[in-house]
Structure 1
Amino acid sequence: MLRNFTRASSSLIRAGTAAENLSAEQIWQRRSKLRVPKLQKDEQLSSKVYFAAKEWELDKKANRDEGEVDPLKNYGMTPEKWRYYNTIVWPPNYTVPETGLPKTKEVFYCQENMHFSPKRMWTACQLIWKMNVDEALTQLDLQQLKSCTMLAETLRKAKQQAADEFHIEFPSQMYVADAFPVQSNIVKGARRHAHEDWNTIRYRYINIFVRLESGPPPNFKQRFAPKSGFDHMENYYDYLRSRQIKYSI
């Protein structure tokens, strides 16, 4: 058993060292292959990996409070679910079987109960998505918007958490893998206009979720790489060659 364990660990180390020699473009070429849709009958399941994490108490609410669980409340992503990913401990020198690359370092951070509109914060999150942390902070500081200021503060706290809590040596080499807001609460108020015209005011509060991942960012943000002019030219040539004359011999 010890011989099999040492053999498996040495193979993992060899795979990790071989993956370190790959360029950023080659790494993202491997990872982009996972985005290609496959039929269920063609999928190849990887071996099960055992990792250490705190057990989720299913008989309690998402915020760990006592009481009956209500599926209509606290559904979707919550700060407790997001921070749960920080407690997962993967095996040393773990290699992702789908890509053959070593497991990247990740930091999950959440800023709770920010008084702001989720729609306006979403545009700021799309600006820095799939961007280096330092470059994202520079772009946010150049924007004279409240959403960008709040998001920049959240990124700085996430970067500081990566250095202090997770002891990542170079947090500046991480990129923003995920950034999105989720509405957490609505406080309703009232505003009185002339002639006793009362209108409802909704004060919206959001949670900002940020995930930092080590390594170089991808070259494009979309699901697939954008087509160049030559690609569009080839598609147009294929269209011209595929034309047929109707009712021809």
Structure 2
Amino acid sequence: YVCHMRTNIKYSPWKMWYIACMVRGMTVDEAIKQLSFVLKKGAIAVKETILEAQQIAVEKHNVEFRSNLWVAESFVGKGVVIRGMRRHARARVGKVEYFHCHYFVRLEEGTPPKHYYPFKRELTGSELLENWLQQMRKRKIPNSL
């Protein structure tokens, strides 16, 4: 696997979180394709970081095919917060905060799993029946023997 990061991106970590979650579990080619249609400043930084990680995988980690990679982890960390002042009318001031974030990505070789989030997948009929049976057996009648 290949880990890569970009630090001190001048973008809110709370906005970047949505973009980072979107590309999890996708192939690198699909992630690049999807990010090119996201009209947000953070999407450009994520796209560049994934492309850099793909390049590093091919050059330094002996990955044979650059298209045979998928995004195993994609998350955001909070960076420095620069605080400043903004002038208002009547000699008043307002507090301004400029947020920065760090973006981390890990690429793995191979095909991505069918369900990246296993708890969100559709359950089969036998699994649904088993869950229902477990719930029925766990029931208790209060104040009984």
For this structure pair, what is the TM-score category when the shorter chain's length is used for normalisation?
Answer: 0.7 to 0.9
Match of 2:23 in 1: 128
Match of 2:115 in 1: 220
Match of 1:186 in 2: 81
- TM-score between both structures, scaled by the size of structure 1: 0.51
The amino acid that maps onto 1:182 is G
Unaligned runs of 5+ in 1: 1-105
Pick one of 191, 205, 208 that aligns with 2:103: 208
Provide Cα deviations, 1:73-118, integer angstroms capped at 9, x if missing partner.
xxxxxxxxxxxxxxxxxxxxxxxxxxxxxxxxx1111112210111
Match of 2:32 in 1: 137
Match of 1:177 in 2: 72
- Structure of larger gyration radius: 1
In structure 1, how many angstroms separate the alpha carbons of the residues matched to 2:70 and 2:61?
A: 16
The amino acid that maps onto 1:222 is Y
In structure 2, how many angstroms separate the alpha carbons of the residues matched to 1:194 and 1:116?
A: 28
CA change 1:190–1:219 in 2 (3 A) is same
Q: Is the counterpart of residue 232 in structure 1 residue 128 in structure 2?
A: yes
CA change 1:155–1:242 in 2 (3 A) is closer
Kindly report which structure 2 residues correspond to 1:16-31, keeping only aligned pairs within 5 A, or say none.
none
Q: SS state of the match for residue 36, structure 2? A: helix
In structure 1, how many angstroms separate the alpha carbons of the residues matched to 2:142 and 2:3?
A: 59
In structure 2, how many angstroms separate the alpha carbons of the residues matched to 1:147 and 1:232?
A: 40
Indicate the structure whose relative CO is greater, using CA pairs within 8 Å and at least 6 residues apart: 2
- TM-score between both structures, scaled by the size of structure 2: 0.83
The alignment's C-alpha RMSD in Å is: 2.5
In structure 2, how many angstroms separate the alpha carbons of the residues matched to 1:161 and 1:147?
A: 21
In structure 1, how many angstroms separate the alpha carbons of the residues matched to 2:100 and 2:6?
A: 11
Q: Percent identity?
A: 32
The alignment of Structure 1 onto Structure 2 pairs a total of residues equal to: 144
Question: Which protein is richer in strand relative to its size?
Answer: 2
In structure 2, how many angstroms separate the alpha carbons of the residues matched to 1:154 and 1:189?
A: 29
Unaligned runs of 5+ in 2: none
What is the CA-CA distance between 1:152 and the residue it aligns to? 0.8
CA change 1:244–1:112 in 2 (3 A) is closer
Pick one of 195, 204, 221 that aligns with 2:90: 195
In structure 1, how many angstroms separate the alpha carbons of the residues matched to 2:26 and 2:80?
A: 29
